[in-house]
A and B are shown apart, each in its own frame.
Chain A
C-alpha cells in the first residue's frame, strides 16, 4: 500500500486529499487534516474519488474515423493526421477557421500549451473554456473594478467573518467544503445573509434569507447602497484613500428607492435594510457569489463589487469578495489565458505592448484580434467560418446548454481529448485518450488562488497520453520546435511569463499545501489575503449603474419567470460521476424520478395552476414553447420556474435562437401539452 497527498479535482475548493494505492490501483481516499482549506473534511465527491479512478471503461487507444467508423490507430498516425488537417484547413480558410476549447477542469499545463499552440502555431485567438460567457462577465468586471479577477481572501478566512453574505450559489451542492466554513462561522456567531431565489441548504441556516425574484439583484443592491449612504454607513476613509468614481456612484446610489426595490424583488424592505446595515456595520464581512451562473449579468456583479467598496469590506481579516469558481481549475484556466481576448496573466490581446512581450517570450507573432469563445463557436456565431475544433476534456453535447450541434456537425475536423467515450464521440473525427487524475503530476489553481499539485500515484495503462504531451506532439508535427519533457518544465515557463506566478515551481508547491498567488520571487510563500495594503498600482473603481428596465419582465400573458441555473445534483454533468456507482446514483436521484428532465415550480404556484408533481406541462414563451415535467417543490420561490442546467433543449425550444444573456424568460404554464 502507499499513501500520497494530492489535491481533489472536483470543485474549486481544492481540498487536500490522500489517495491510498495498492498494486497500481487507487483503493481509497481520505482527507488531509492539516490542509488549510478543508482541514480534515471532504464532500461526497471527494469521498468517492477512488471509485472513479479505478473505473474500467477508459479509452485506451487513439481513434480515427475512417469510412464513418472509429478505428484504433497509433499515436503517430493520429497526431500526424490532425496536424496535416489543421495545416490544410488553415491554408484554405485561414487561422480563424480553427478553435481550441477546453474544460475548466483542464490542468494549468495543458491549458497554457493549448492557448500557446493556438496563438503561435495556428495563429488564432479562438481559445475558450467551457464556462465561457458567465465566467468572463465576472473576470471583466473584477479586472475593471478591483484589478484582480479572483477571490480576495482564503476560504478559511471565513472563520473570521462577522457577516457572511451568500448570493446566488448553492454552496452545499457545488462547493460543500465552503458551505461548511459558512455554517461553522454562523454557529460561532457570524450573521448569515443569503440571497437566492431558491431555498437551498445554506439558506435554511440564514439569519436573513432574501428570496428575491429572479433578475432583481441590481435593484436589491441598489436599495442596499441607498440605505448605507443614507445612514452614513459608507466607509468614507477607505473610499477616499482607495477608490475612484465615487461621485458618479453616489449619484446612482442616492437615486435608489428602498420601497420600490422591495416591491421589485418581492422581499420585505426591512430585510433589505437589515442586510445592508449588517454588512456595512460589520467589523468584517464577506460576500460570496458564483462566477459560473449564467443568469448573473454584468451589472449584478458590478453591484456586488460596489457594495464591497462602499463598505470597505476588503483587504482585512474575514472581509473580502469571493467570486467562486465552481470547477476545479476555472481559475487556473483563466490565469493561463484560455480566453479569446486575454493572454496569460489577463493582459488584453488588443494591448500591443502585451503582445510584443509574449511574442518575444514565445518567439512568434501573436494575433491581435480577439477570437471566438466556446459559446460563440458552438452556437456558430462564427457563421460557418469555424471548420475545425479541438476540445480538451470538454463535452459540450452533454454538459452545457448546447444541445444544438449545428456547428460541430458542420466541421471538417473535430478532435476530442478525453478519458471516456462521451456524447461528443459521435461527432469526433479523432479521439485521443488522456491520462486521468492520479496518473500524472500537474497543477490546478483553486478558487482561493491556491496553485496546487495533483500528484501521480499510479501508472496509467498503456495507451493514454497526458493531454499536455499530446499538445507538444501536435506542435512538433506542425513544425514547431517545442521541447517540454515534463509538466514541471511547462510550469517553469509559465512562471517566466505570468508575473503573479513568477515564484511558482513544483518544488515550491510540494513543500506545504501549494501556494496562493501572487506567488513571486519576492513572495515565494504566496499571498493568502489580497489588498491588505490597498489596491496595487491603481485605485479600486466604482461602477455607476443605470436603472435600466430589466431585460425580461413578466406580464399577464407570461406571468412566471423561467430561470436557468445550477441545481441540485448538477455537478457540472461531470462525466467522471457516471463512472462511480454511488455518485451516479446520487446524481441521478432526480433524473430517475423525472426521466425526461424536469423544471421546478413552487408548491403555491403549482396549487394555483392545478399542477401535480410529475405532470407534463407546456411552457410557452413569446418566442417558442417547450414541454417538460413539473417538479413541485417548496425550494423555489413563487413566480419563478427553475430549470436545472442539464435540461439542454429547453432554452433553444423556448427562444428560437440562443441570445446571449437570455437566462430569464417570461413564460406561462399550460397544463395539457397536446
Chain B
C-alpha cells in the first residue's frame, strides 16, 4: 500500500479536495457537552471538523443502509399503478471514520453484495462512498471507555477496506495510506509528500503504544464463539441476560455489523404511495411474529439468545467471513441493562466455565460426573 506524509495543518484540506470532487463530505463535529456526531461539511462548519474525537453512537452504516429509506413510489391513474424505484446515492465521503466502523462496512458489504442476492440500493450507495479512515491513537480523545476493537481485531488501525487512512504521528505530521486506487489518486496533490523509514517506525511505535492504552472493556471471543457454536449455553444464562433487557432495540441499531430491516408500504396521497425500508431489530418481540400469530422468539431470553448466536456462532462467521462484532462498544453505551457484547461474553464464559467444574458431590461419585459430561449430539 502506498504511504505519504502530510502536515497536520493540511489534513482538513483533504476535506476540501473531496468536496471539490463534487462529494458531500460527512465528518465529525462536536455537539452539546461531550456529544459528537457525523454531519455534512459546509463552508460554515468546515473549520469545526474534528479529527480526534469520541466515536458517536449513531453509526456511519446509515450512509450505506439508511435508518429509513424510500425504495419506490407508486402512482395510480386510470386504474393502472405505476411503480418507480427511487434511488438516492449522492457521491459521498466519510472523513474520520474509525477502524471499527470500516470493519463494519466491510461486514455489511459481504452481507449485501457478495452473496446470492445483490442489494441494489446498498450497492449504489456503497459505490459512491469514499472512506477516509482515521486511526485511533489518542487515549484521551479517541479511545473510549467502551472500546474493544482489539478483541475483535478490527483496530486501532484498519488493515484494509478504506480508501485513505490517516494516522497522527505527532510532531505536526500525519501518515496517509492509500487502500484503493481512488485513494491513491489523491496523492498527486502537493500536500502529500513521500515518507521515510523513520516515519514507518514512528507509526509502529505509536500503534504499539495505543494498543496498550485501551481502557477496561474486553471481550474474550474465542472461547465464547466455541461455547455458542457448540450450543453449550444454558437457558438459565439467557434468562439472566434477558431479565436485564429493556427491549429498546438500541444495540442492533447502533451496531455497525447489524443488517436487519423491515419494509413497509404507506399511502402518501389519494393516488400515491411509497415503499420504505427501515432498520428493524431482533431485540423486539414482534420481529419474528408470523402471520397467523406464531412467534418462535416471543420470550425476551429467546431473542437475546438469537442475537448472540447470530453475532458469534461459527456458522455465521464462516458465511460472512468475519465476526458480526467490530468491538466499537456502542452496544455498551446504549444499553440500559449493561448487556452489551462485553458483559454478555463475560456472562457466557463464566456460566459455561462454572458449569464445567465438577461439584463436590460429583467428585465423590465419578459415575455421575461421567453422565454429566456426555452431551447429546447436536447439529
A residues with a Cβ closer than 8 A to B are: 1-3, 5, 16, 18, 20, 27-35, 40-44, 46-47, 50-51, 54-57, 172, 176-177, 179-180, 183-184, 187, 201, 204-205, 512-513, 581-582, 585-586, 588-589, 592-593
Contacts and interface: CB of A to CB of B under 8 A. Distances in A.
B68 A27 contact: yes
Interface in B13-30: 26, 29
Contact of B293 (A172, A586, A593): A593
Given A18-B37, A172-B247, A31 B57 contact: yes
Contacts of B300: 201
Contacts, number: 150
Contacts of A56: 266-269, 274
Contact of A1 (B39, B248, B249): B39
A30 B57 contact: yes
B262 to A, nearest CB: 6
B270 to A, nearest CB: 11
A513 B68 contact: no
Contact of A51 (B68, B268, B286): B68
Given A56-B267, A204-B243, A1 B26 contact: yes
Given A1-B39, A585-B286, A589-B285, A47 B57 contact: no
A398 to B, nearest CB: 20
Contact of B57 (A40, A183, A589): A40
A582 B40 contact: no
B191 interface: no
Nearest to A29: B67
Contact of B32 (A204, A512, A585): A512
B278 A51 contact: yes
B248 A47 contact: yes
A187 B340 CA distance: 14
A41 B250 contact: yes
Interface stretch (B93-101, B149-157, B196-204, B328-336): B328-336
B40 A1 contact: yes
A658 B74 CA distance: 48
A164 to B, nearest CB: 15
Interface in B332-346: 333-338
Nearest to A179: B246
A205 B250 CA distance: 21
Given A179-B246, A582-B280, A57 B293 contact: no
Nearest to B264: A581
Contacts of B243: 201, 204-205
A590 to B, nearest CB: 9
B33 interface: yes
Given A44-B284, A513-B32, A50 B67 contact: yes
B336 A33 contact: no
Nearest to B280: A582
Closest 4 CB pairs of A and B: A180-B336, A34-B33, A30-B58, A581-B264
Contacts of A35: 32-33
A176 B246 contact: yes
B31 A18 contact: yes
B286 A31 contact: no
A18 B37 CA distance: 9
B284 A582 contact: yes
Given A30-B57, A512-B32, A586-B285, A183 B244 contact: yes
A47 B283 CA distance: 13
Contacts of B244: 183, 187, 205
A15 to B, nearest CB: 11
A586 B284 CA distance: 7
Contact of B336 (A50, A54, A183): A183
B84 interface: no
Contacts of B266: 55-57, 581
B163 to A, nearest CB: 21
A581 B278 contact: yes
A582 B247 contact: no
B62 interface: yes
A176 B336 contact: yes
19 contacts: A2-B40, A20-B67, A30-B56, A32-B32, A35-B33, A40-B57, A41-B334, A42-B248, A44-B247, A47-B250, A50-B68, A56-B267, A57-B267, A177-B336, A201-B243, A512-B33, A513-B32, A581-B278, A582-B262
B35 interface: yes
B289 interface: yes
B34 interface: yes
B66 interface: yes
Given A34-B33, A44-B284, A581-B264, A28 B248 contact: no
Task: Tell me which of B56, B66, B280, B286 has the highest count of chain A C-beta atoms within 10 A of its own C-beta.
Answer: B286
Nearest to A181: B336
A643 B249 CA distance: 27
A41 B334 CA distance: 4
Contact of B58 (A18, A180, A582, A589): A18
Interface in B43-89: 54, 56-58, 62, 66-68
B253 interface: yes
A205 B358 CA distance: 28
A11 to B, nearest CB: 12
Contacts of B268: 56
A20 B58 contact: yes
Contacts of B56: 30, 33
Contact of B262 (A47, A180, A512, A581): A581
A184 B334 CA distance: 13
Given A2-B40, A176-B336, 16 more contacts: A1-B40, A5-B31, A27-B66, A30-B56, A33-B33, A33-B34, A42-B250, A43-B248, A44-B249, A51-B68, A187-B244, A204-B243, A205-B243, A205-B244, A592-B293, A593-B293
Contacts of B337: 180, 183-184, 187
B333 A33 contact: yes
A177 B250 CA distance: 12
Interface in B310-339: 333-338
Contacts of A33: 33-35, 54, 56-57, 333
Task: Tell me which of A33, A184, A512 has the highest count of chain B C-beta atoms within 10 A of its own C-beta.
Answer: A33
